[in-house]
Amino acid sequence: MARAARTLAAGGLVAFPTETVYGLGADATNPAAVARLYKAKGRPSFNPLIAHVDCLEAARAIGELGPDAIALAWAFWPGPLTLVVPRAPHCSVAELATAGLDTVALRVPSHPVAMALLQAFGKPVVAPSANLSGHVSPTTAAHVKSDLDGLIDLIIDDGAVEVGVESTIVGCFKEPMLLRPGGLPRAEIERVLGRKLVEPPAEAESATAQPLAPGMLATHYAPRTKVRLNAFRVEPGEALLAFGPATVIGANAATAVMNLSAKGDLAEAAAHLFGYLRALDARAPKAIAVMPIPSEGLGEAINDRLRRAAVGRD
Ligand code: TXA
Ligand code: MG
């Protein structure tokens, strides 16, 4: 942990586990380190980063949390929730990390390793998912290594993550907005707010728009192989990404079958999603057929990532 904190302080890049996915950390206050981070990932610099801190007080030093944001922070931090709020007047996060926006995305992760690193370092850490831009997010240290080996300084391996999809992002605007469904289900957020989250405007989804919250960039999560959603049968040459106890026509002729959760548990399915997509992608089938997955609870985030994986590949 001391070595990781020293690496960050020297402007280095450290991959570390969070409860959602592995992150690639850099000193949020060091523009040169942030520039290296964008370069290592091959990420466009107009796509801003999440600043990770170890507590609410640290968050309030860099962002202005209004009553909704405070209520959500109390209810769900540390945990898989990111809040987008106005930058505080003396915000220490580099402008490059927020892509010149007047808002900043903040998160207090619950993973003990992430927490220990933030505490050892003592400053905010920007951390996108530790994958090459355009690949699915890493849920093990081996995924990080296969994408970023040689491009970064250190990987802290603490096994597979627990949640498996990225944090839910809420824009704390006049009307709180669901910018990205994720590891914290919408209904839990709406219960604390006492009202519905509003949807982002449709143009935010376009590839050219200044991203309100990319992750919203349409093909953000795409594997190389074509992904076919809501499949009720498997075509010759296809691999099957199954869900639940039922089988589909042609399943026994599939080139490979992986079941996200044989018992139909959405939390288990979220934890397996990116790893199974990577594994099936690596076998280069004609396509990955995905069985329907219910959209309640964590299913909203799972279906969001699957739709992005399926965009533009036909
Ligand atoms: O679970 C997670 O959130 C993981 C772990 C490592 O914490 N991180 C993660 O980061 O998913 P990344 O960079 O892959 O996704 C961050 C998303 C991007 O879609 C980005 O556009 C959005 O947050 N974002 C960051 N700052 C923003 C801002 N000021 N306004 C709107 N969206 C913002
Ligand atoms: Mg990402």
DSSP state of 297: T
Q: Is 19 in the pocket of ligand 1 (CB under 6 A)?
A: no
Asked if 108 contacts 18 with a C-beta cutoff of 8 angstroms, the reply is no
Mean per-residue pLDDT, 224-238: 95
Residue 46 pLDDT class (50, 70, 90 cuts): confident
pLDDT (tens digit, 9 = 90+) per residue, 120-137? 999 999 999 999 998 999
What pTM was computed for the model?
A: 0.92
**Ligand 1 nearest atom to the CA of residue 217, by list position:** 19
CA of 10 to the centre of ligand 1 (A): 24
Structure tokens at 172: 């704390």
- The whole-number pLDDT of residue 223 equals 80
Specify burial of residue 290 (Cβ count, 10 A radius: 0-12, 13-18, 19+). buried
DSSP state of 199: P
Residue 202 pLDDT class (50, 70, 90 cuts): confident
Q: Is 106 in the pocket of ligand 1 (CB under 6 A)?
A: no
> Is residue 212's pLDDT more than 80?
no
DSSP-assigned states of every residue in 79-129 = SSEEEEEEBPTT--S-GGGGTT-SEEEEE----HHHHHHHHHH-S-EE--B
Mean per-residue pLDDT, 60-70: 98
Asked if 178 contacts 161 with a C-beta cutoff of 8 angstroms, the reply is no
Specify burial of residue 57 (Cβ count, 10 A radius: 0-12, 13-18, 19+). exposed
Q: Which of 221, 225, 220, 230 minimizes the C-alpha distance to 288?
A: 225
User: CB count, 10 Å around CB of 295?
Assistant: 14
Mean pLDDT, the chain, rounded, equals 93
User: CB count, 10 Å around CB of 167?
Assistant: 27
- The whole-number pLDDT of residue 224 equals 85
Mean per-residue pLDDT, 258-286: 97
Q: Which of 166, 188, 161, 138 minimizes the C-alpha distance to 301?
A: 166
From residue 187, alpha-carbon distances to 2, 94, 182, 244, 267 in Å are 39, 33, 12, 23, 15
Higher pLDDT, 215 or 246: 246
pLDDT (tens digit, 9 = 90+) per residue, 136-183? 999 999 999 999 999 999 999 999 999 999 999 999 999 999 999 999
Q: Is 179 in the pocket of ligand 1 (CB under 6 A)?
A: yes
pLDDT (tens digit, 9 = 90+) per residue, 6-45? 999 999 999 999 999 999 999 999 999 999 999 999 998 8
Q: Which residues surround ligand 2, an ion (CB under 5 A)?
A: 129
- The whole-number pLDDT of residue 77 equals 98
Bridge partners (DSSP) listed for residue 26: 126
Residue 201 pLDDT class (50, 70, 90 cuts): confident
> Is residue 55's pLDDT more than 90?
yes
